[in-house]
Amino acid sequence: MDSDRCDFDGSYGKFQVVENQFAAMPDETNYSNLELSYIWTNFKLRCTWKDRSYIQGYATQLSEINNVTCNCARDSIIFKLSGKIQRLECQGNGNYAKKQFSEGKAFCVDSDGYPTTGFIDLDDCPDYLNELLKV
Protein backbone atom coordinates (compact mmCIF):
# COMPACT_ATOMS: atom_id res chain seq x y z
CA MET A 1 0.00 0.00 0.00
CA ASP A 2 1.37 3.40 -0.96
CA SER A 3 -0.42 6.44 0.38
CA ASP A 4 0.24 9.70 -1.45
CA ARG A 5 -0.09 12.97 0.38
CA CYS A 6 0.05 16.26 -1.48
CA ASP A 7 1.31 19.72 -0.54
CA PHE A 8 -0.95 22.73 -0.98
CA ASP A 9 0.69 23.50 -4.36
CA GLY A 10 -0.24 20.07 -5.73
CA SER A 11 3.26 18.57 -5.52
CA TYR A 12 3.87 15.42 -3.52
CA GLY A 13 3.78 15.88 0.23
CA LYS A 14 6.62 15.82 2.73
CA PHE A 15 6.33 12.11 3.38
CA GLN A 16 4.79 8.99 1.94
CA VAL A 17 3.42 5.97 3.76
CA VAL A 18 5.05 2.86 2.36
CA GLU A 19 4.64 -0.82 3.12
CA ASN A 20 7.65 -2.84 4.20
CA GLN A 21 7.50 -6.60 3.86
CA PHE A 22 10.18 -8.81 5.30
CA ALA A 23 10.56 -12.27 3.78
CA ALA A 24 11.45 -15.44 5.64
CA MET A 25 14.18 -17.67 4.25
CA PRO A 26 13.16 -21.12 2.94
CA ASP A 27 13.23 -23.98 5.40
CA GLU A 28 16.85 -25.21 5.42
CA THR A 29 15.73 -28.84 5.68
CA ASN A 30 13.38 -28.59 2.71
CA TYR A 31 15.29 -27.19 -0.27
CA SER A 32 12.54 -28.22 -2.69
CA ASN A 33 10.39 -25.37 -1.35
CA LEU A 34 12.25 -22.29 -2.59
CA GLU A 35 9.23 -20.04 -2.30
CA LEU A 36 9.69 -17.24 0.23
CA SER A 37 6.85 -16.36 2.55
CA TYR A 38 6.31 -13.01 4.20
CA ILE A 39 6.59 -13.14 7.95
CA TRP A 40 5.28 -9.66 8.70
CA THR A 41 4.31 -6.36 7.17
CA ASN A 42 4.62 -2.91 8.62
CA PHE A 43 4.09 0.60 7.37
CA LYS A 44 6.74 3.27 7.40
CA LEU A 45 6.90 7.01 6.73
CA ARG A 46 9.62 8.10 4.34
CA CYS A 47 10.47 11.75 3.74
CA THR A 48 10.03 12.74 0.10
CA TRP A 49 10.87 15.61 -2.19
CA LYS A 50 8.23 17.37 -4.31
CA ASP A 51 8.73 14.89 -7.17
CA ARG A 52 7.99 11.96 -4.81
CA SER A 53 11.61 10.78 -4.72
CA TYR A 54 12.67 9.52 -1.31
CA ILE A 55 15.14 11.64 0.62
CA GLN A 56 17.83 9.13 1.54
CA GLY A 57 18.25 8.38 5.24
CA TYR A 58 15.03 9.91 6.58
CA ALA A 59 12.26 7.55 7.69
CA THR A 60 10.32 6.52 10.78
CA GLN A 61 7.50 4.29 11.94
CA LEU A 62 3.88 5.00 11.01
CA SER A 63 3.05 5.56 14.68
CA GLU A 64 4.99 8.87 14.42
CA ILE A 65 2.69 10.29 11.72
CA ASN A 66 1.49 13.16 13.94
CA ASN A 67 5.05 14.18 14.88
CA VAL A 68 6.83 14.10 11.51
CA THR A 69 7.36 17.27 9.47
CA CYS A 70 10.35 16.24 7.30
CA ASN A 71 11.19 19.97 7.24
CA CYS A 72 14.88 19.45 7.88
CA ALA A 73 15.15 16.66 5.30
CA ARG A 74 13.45 18.83 2.67
CA ASP A 75 15.54 21.86 3.62
CA SER A 76 18.67 19.75 3.11
CA ILE A 77 17.62 19.32 -0.55
CA ILE A 78 17.03 23.06 -0.92
CA PHE A 79 20.48 23.79 0.51
CA LYS A 80 22.09 21.21 -1.77
CA LEU A 81 20.34 22.57 -4.87
CA SER A 82 21.46 26.11 -4.03
CA GLY A 83 25.07 25.01 -3.43
CA LYS A 84 24.98 25.93 0.26
CA ILE A 85 25.80 23.95 3.39
CA GLN A 86 23.03 23.16 5.83
CA ARG A 87 24.44 23.74 9.29
CA LEU A 88 21.50 22.60 11.39
CA GLU A 89 21.19 18.97 12.45
CA CYS A 90 18.33 16.74 11.32
CA GLN A 91 16.85 13.84 13.27
CA GLY A 92 16.50 10.46 11.58
CA ASN A 93 12.80 11.11 10.97
CA GLY A 94 13.57 14.26 8.92
CA ASN A 95 12.63 16.80 11.60
CA TYR A 96 15.01 19.41 12.95
CA ALA A 97 16.77 18.35 16.15
CA LYS A 98 15.36 20.65 18.84
CA LYS A 99 18.81 21.32 20.31
CA GLN A 100 21.41 22.66 17.88
CA PHE A 101 25.06 23.63 18.33
CA SER A 102 27.24 26.31 16.79
CA GLU A 103 30.75 27.39 17.83
CA GLY A 104 30.57 25.54 21.15
CA LYS A 105 27.23 27.04 22.12
CA ALA A 106 23.79 25.45 22.18
CA PHE A 107 20.43 26.88 21.15
CA CYS A 108 16.94 25.55 20.49
CA VAL A 109 14.97 25.63 17.23
CA ASP A 110 11.34 25.14 16.26
CA SER A 111 9.99 22.65 13.72
CA ASP A 112 11.03 24.95 10.85
CA GLY A 113 14.60 25.34 12.10
CA TYR A 114 14.16 28.91 13.37
CA PRO A 115 15.95 29.69 16.67
CA THR A 116 13.67 29.92 19.70
CA THR A 117 16.42 30.80 22.20
CA GLY A 118 19.66 32.71 22.21
CA PHE A 119 23.04 31.02 22.61
CA ILE A 120 23.61 29.16 25.84
CA ASP A 121 26.90 27.74 27.12
CA LEU A 122 26.96 23.97 26.72
CA ASP A 123 27.28 23.52 30.48
CA ASP A 124 24.13 25.60 31.05
CA CYS A 125 22.02 24.11 28.30
CA PRO A 126 20.57 21.08 30.17
CA ASP A 127 19.50 23.30 33.09
CA TYR A 128 18.04 25.88 30.73
CA LEU A 129 16.12 23.26 28.75
CA ASN A 130 14.79 21.71 31.96
CA GLU A 131 13.52 25.16 33.02
CA LEU A 132 11.78 25.53 29.64
CA LEU A 133 10.05 22.18 30.09
CA LYS A 134 8.70 23.15 33.53
CA VAL A 135 6.80 26.14 32.13
Per-residue model confidence as pLDDT tens digits over 50-87? 888 889 999 888 888 889 999 999 999 999 999 999 99
Domain extents in the chain:
1-96, 98-135
Identify the top-confidence range among 10-14, 56-60, 92-96, 120-124: 92-96
The span from the CA of 84 to the CA of 59, in Å, is 24
* More confident: 68 or 14: 68
Q: How do residues 89-100 score in pLDDT, each as one tens digit?
A: 999 999 999 989
The 3-state DSSP composition of the chain as helix, strand, coil percent (nearest 5) reads 20, 35, 45
In this prediction, residue 20 carries a pLDDT of 65
Q: Which residue has the higher pLDDT, 115 or 29?
A: 115
How many Å apart are CA 39 and CA 22, to the nearest integer? 6
Confidence band, pLDDT 50/70/90 cuts, at residue 29? very low
